[in-house]
């Protein structure tokens, strides 16, 4: 079994899900008392959020590259960045380490293709929805991306940062996200990517009638595949 390096804490609420899903899946596949070999580096999220909103992606890239390097030195065989937004600097981080970085966008794209989707809606932070890196990554797989309008993007962004990252789950906010998804369907979305690792905390497949791609679970399960191959 390979050792998984996790860059977490962005937020710790979703990193907890990574840890749970990976360990449950390893035990499901191997049985007995098996669990995953994991090295976790959890950041102080306040520092990351401040730098994100200041658009200091260069500093964030250096920060995550340094952390990835520490995980490599500690014995990780490959690394995951446990957040969608920070994949804006994933290519830079990969260039700074010798071990593989398992990119969440590639994992989600592969699952979308397996599901036969060609047009996908994208929900996430403002950075994920607006900065183009996620759309570019999905485009390499021939996927067309639709995003919410400006007002809906703000609704989703605020729910993520003001509520979900702080462990606040509100039915009223779930209803707002469901309405955003309905509008994405009208734009042609055949499925919707929950492109923020906190969004699966509030929304499940049974809540909507369009296929959802849970980026947290997809990324975690691909990590298990890679660890056990």
Question: What are 104's two structure tokens?
Answer: 């969440």
Compute, in degrees rounded to 10, the torsion defined by CA atoms 172, 162, 17, 79: 140
Give the active site residues: 83, 196
Query: Tokens in use for 161?
Result: 């940062």
What is the dihedral sign for C-alpha 154, 167, 91, 36?
Answer: negative
Dihedral sign, CA of 48, 169, 224, 146? Answer: negative
Structure tokens at 5: 């390096």
CA distance 22 to 16: 10
User: CB pairs under 8 A, 24+ apart, for 87-94?
Assistant: 87/133, 87/134, 87/137, 88/57, 88/60, 88/127, 88/128, 88/131, 88/133, 89/57, 89/60, 89/61, 89/64, 89/65, 92/61, 92/65, 93/61, 93/64, 93/65, 93/68
């Amino acid at each position: 079994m390979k050792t998984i390096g996790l860059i977490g804490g962005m937020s710790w609420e979703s990193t907890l899900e990574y840890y749970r899903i990976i360990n449950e899946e390893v035990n499901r596949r191997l049985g007995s008392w098996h669990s995953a070999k994991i090295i976790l580096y959890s950041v102080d999220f306040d520092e990351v959020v401040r730098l994100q909103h200041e658009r200091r992606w260069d500093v964030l890239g250096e920060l995550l590259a340094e952390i990835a390097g520490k995980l490599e030195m500690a014995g990780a065989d490959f690394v995951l960045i446990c957040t969608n937004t920070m994949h804006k600097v994933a290519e830079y981080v990969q260039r700074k380490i010798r071990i593989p970085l398992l990119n969440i966008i590639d994992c989600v794209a592969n699952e979308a293709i397996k599901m036969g989707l060609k047009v996908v809606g994208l929900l996430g932070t403002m950075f994920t929805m607006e900065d183009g890196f996620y759309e570019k990554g999905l485009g390499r797989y021939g996927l067309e991306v639709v995003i919410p309008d400006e007002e809906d993007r703000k609704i989703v962004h605020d729910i993520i940062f003001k509520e979900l990252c702080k462990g606040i789950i509100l039915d009223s906010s779930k209803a707002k996200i469901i309405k955003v998804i309905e509008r994405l369907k009208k734009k042609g979305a055949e499925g919707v990517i929950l492109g923020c690792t906190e969004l699966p905390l509030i929304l499940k497949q049974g809540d909507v009638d369009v296929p959802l791609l849970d980026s947290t679970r997809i990324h975690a399960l691909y990590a298990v595949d890679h660890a056990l191959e």
